[in-house]
Amino acid sequence: MTVEQTKLADCIIIHDTVFGDNRGYFFESFNKKTFLDKTGMDINFIQDNQSKSSKGVLRGLHFQHGEFSQAKLVRVLEGKVLDIAVDLRRNSPTFKQHIAIELSAESRTQFFVPRGFAHGFVVLSETATFFYKCDNLYNKASEGGVIYSDPELNIDWQLPADQLLISDKDQVLPKLSEMVDSIQF
């Protein structure tokens, strides 16, 4: 496992060591001790989630705040997505900045999104199966979000707007400027 730091503090890209031969491949997708040794972060993942979506499905930008904020380790099991993390930590030097990373089943790259970030992705392939580990349980009362099209964030989702498939709930999320002062991590 190798760790690549991104421009956003504590957001990291993980490249796993893959062992392959004519039978297929094997890799260790998560090892708590190795993660701690390589990142210095003692994360206790307690919930796994998985979704399957078709091309153009955009999920996000979501977060949980307060005592239920979540760190996530995400990866793609099938297909390809553009994954986005937005720093919502007011005291961070990268506050309101985002990073976009392409994740695919072929690359087997993983992306760690710490607490204090909004997160979302859009499917770039015909379908994609998305998997993520969370270090806190889901709590509906603590969920929040930022509209995917917030002009202040200026995220390039790599697909034309008329090709995006967005839930009714995600289409009415507020702009970051409308809610940032009420978020506590």
Report CA-CA distances (Å) from 179 to 49, 65, 85, 94, 146. Answer: 26, 12, 17, 18, 8
Q: Is 132 a catalytic residue?
A: yes
> How far apart are the C-alpha atoms of 37 and 134, rounded to whole Å?
19
Is the pLDDT reported for residue 20 higher than 90? Answer: no
Q: What is the mean pLDDT of residues 23-31?
A: 88
C-beta of residue 52 within 8 angstroms of C-beta of residue 129: yes
Label residue 182 by pLDDT band (50, 70, 90).
Answer: confident
C-beta of residue 98 within 8 angstroms of C-beta of residue 11: no
Is the pLDDT reported for residue 129 higher than 80? Answer: yes
> How far apart are the C-alpha atoms of 140 and 64, rounded to whole Å?
8
pTM of the model: 0.93
Count Cβ atoms below 10 Å from residue 111 Cβ, excluding itself: 26
Residues 57-66: pLDDT tens digits? 999 999 999 9
Residues 77-94: pLDDT tens digits? 999 999 999 999 999 999
Q: What is the mean pLDDT of residues 128-138?
A: 97
Is the pLDDT reported for residue 48 higher than 90? Answer: yes
> How far apart are the C-alpha atoms of 185 and 183, rounded to whole Å?
7
Q: What are 84's two structure tokens? A: 């986005």
Residue 57's pLDDT is 98
Label residue 127 by pLDDT band (50, 70, 90).
Answer: very high
Q: What is the mean pLDDT of residues 84-108?
A: 95
Spell out the domains of the chain, with CATH numbers in brackets.
45-182 (2.60.120.10)
Mean pLDDT of the chain: 95
Which of 98, 119, 132, 148 is the catalytic position?
132
Q: Is 148 a catalytic residue?
A: no
Q: What is the mean pLDDT of residues 7-29?
A: 90
Is the pLDDT reported for residue 24 higher than 80? Answer: yes
Label residue 18 by pLDDT band (50, 70, 90).
Answer: confident
Which of 62, 65, 98, 119 is the catalytic position?
62
Position with higher pLDDT, 74 vs 180: 74
